[in-house]
Amino acid sequence: MNQILKNKRALITGGSRGIGAAIVKRLASEGADVAFTYANSPNRANEIVQAAEALGVRALAIQADSADASAVVGAVEQTVDKLGGIDILVNNAGVLVVAPIDDITLTDFDRTLAVNVRAVFVATQAALKHMKEGGRIINIGSTNAERMPFAGGGVYAMSKSALQGLVQGLSRDLGPRGITINNVQPGPIATEMNPSEGEFAEMLKKQIAVARYGTAEEVAGMVAYLAGPESGYITGANLMIDGGFSA
């Protein structure tokens, strides 16, 4: 890699597996020191730390539940304390509840909004206290903000749609400060939680223009570009990476 992020400090929420882990490794491979949060599985988190450190950067795993606003703020403060600042924030942590509307509990609803929306706002507000000109804020949204082709996903889709309005509005606040904010909106991506094989996957593949699931590494590549110096004229954008699922 080109080490285009050398001397940058990044925090990735939900970085111990799937898309989050791929983002941690990609930013580290491009020279950024990385901190990431995880909710469970300290052994897995330690493996990600070791993989990042093997690339020659500093790495820090922080246990934090994104539904807990104080824990989110604490993760930002730990990042700043241990890495000396924060230049890149990737709001990746998210939860997905798929169920008929009659079966979704208020607890499910509140946790979805707490993790998928409130935590993004809380982390962003906390990071901005330390972020200087050239800072980058990148949210991991979803193609479902614009297309939900199956029943049971209404609350999830709503939570991801909220991020669209947030980045568009905050781009006006942050533009004069030289800080960009964008959404990356993945379509079906092959992860442990969303396998690319099986009846559900085959149903989705028929709706994807390239007829396959994406990879976490492909999403991480888009995030790395948005985190880098060539993306300074992109802000307030909702960028699909979904193989034409929403086309």
CATH of the domain at 124: 3.40.50.720
What range defines the domain where residue 138 resides?
A: 9-239
- Rounded to whole angstroms, the Cα distance separating 23 from 40 reads 18
The structural domain count of the chain equals: 1
Report residue 160 CA to chain centroid gap: 11
**Tokens matching residue 54:** 């093997």
Whether 156 is catalytic? yes
Q: What is the average per-residue pLDDT within 96-115?
A: 96
- Residue 100 falls inside a structural domain: yes
Which of the residues 38, 156, 225, 233 is marked catalytic? 156
- Residue 152 falls inside a structural domain: yes
What pLDDT digit, counting tens, does each position of 11-49 carry?
999 999 999 999 999 999 999 999 999 999 899 999 999
Query: What is the pLDDT at residue 151?
Result: 93
- Residue 99 falls inside a structural domain: yes
- Rounded to whole angstroms, the Cα distance separating 237 from 92 reads 16
Q: How confident is the model at residue 228 (pLDDT cuts 50, 70, 90)?
A: very high
Query: What is the pLDDT at residue 1?
Result: 58
The counts of H helices and E strands in the chain are: 8, 9
- Residue 2 falls inside a structural domain: no
User: Does position 167 have pLDDT exceeding 70, yes or no?
Assistant: yes
- Residue 139 falls inside a structural domain: yes
SS3 104: coil
What pLDDT digit, counting tens, does each position of 191-208 carry?
988 889 999 899 999 999
